[in-house]
């Protein structure tokens, strides 16, 4: 689990960088509203993260059913997008906190909450462990048990 969390963290950290870079680029070089710029940045980061999770973090997981995997990934990513940008929306339009620093702080807080949700949902529903691993673990535990003597009919005389 620690290794999985570390790999998730590496991809996630790079995704955070991509998210903030695109957000600040959009915010300062276009006339888009803050939350719209954030949604675009989040979508770019979601695409980046899918590639990182599929081919780095969870490369050893079940690869059958890619359409289902991608559908679930996008579904849970959209929920994360709503969490992330909901925090920014509340800060910007609910409290009027819309300076560049405040927007980045609330985007970061929203990303943190969304990351907790995404880790749980991706691990539980999207990038599922291969059933064969469980079978191998079960077989190995069976082999580690006491060895029973061979039946009398099969003993060498």
Query: Cα separation of 51 and 11, whole Å?
Result: 9
* pTM for this prediction: 0.74
Region at 143 (left for phi over 0; alpha for psi -120 to 50; beta for the rest): alpha
Count the neighbouring beta carbons within 10 Å of the beta carbon of residue 73: 22
- The per-residue pLDDT for 54 is 84
Q: What is the pLDDT along the chain (157 residues), one digit of tens a residue?
A: 788 788 888 998 999 999 999 999 999 999 999 999 999 999 999 999 989 988 888 787 767 778 888 888 899 999 999 999 999 999 999 999 999 999 999 999 999 999 899 888 888 878 776 565 555 555 555 556 555 555 555 555 5
């Amino acid at each position: 689990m620690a290794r999985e969390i570390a790999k998730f963290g590496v991809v996630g950290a790079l995704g955070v960088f991509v998210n903030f870079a695109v957000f600040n680029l959009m915010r300062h070089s276009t006339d888009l509203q803050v939350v719209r710029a954030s949604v675009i940045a989040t979508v770019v980061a979601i695409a980046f993260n899918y590639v990182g999770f599929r081919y780095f973090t969870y490369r050893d997981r079940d690869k059958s059913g890619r359409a289902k995997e991608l559908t679930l990934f996008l579904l849970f990513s959209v929920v994360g997008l709503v969490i992330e940008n909901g925090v920014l929306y509340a800060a910007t339009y609910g409290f009027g906190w819309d300076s560049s620093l405040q927007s980045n702080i609330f985007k970061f807080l929203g990303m943190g909450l969304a990351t907790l949700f995404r880790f749980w949902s991706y691990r539980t529903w999207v990038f599922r462990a291969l059933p064969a691993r469980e079978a191998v673990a079960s077989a190995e535990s069976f082999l580690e048990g006491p060895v029973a003597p061979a039946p009398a009919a099969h003993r060498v005389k």
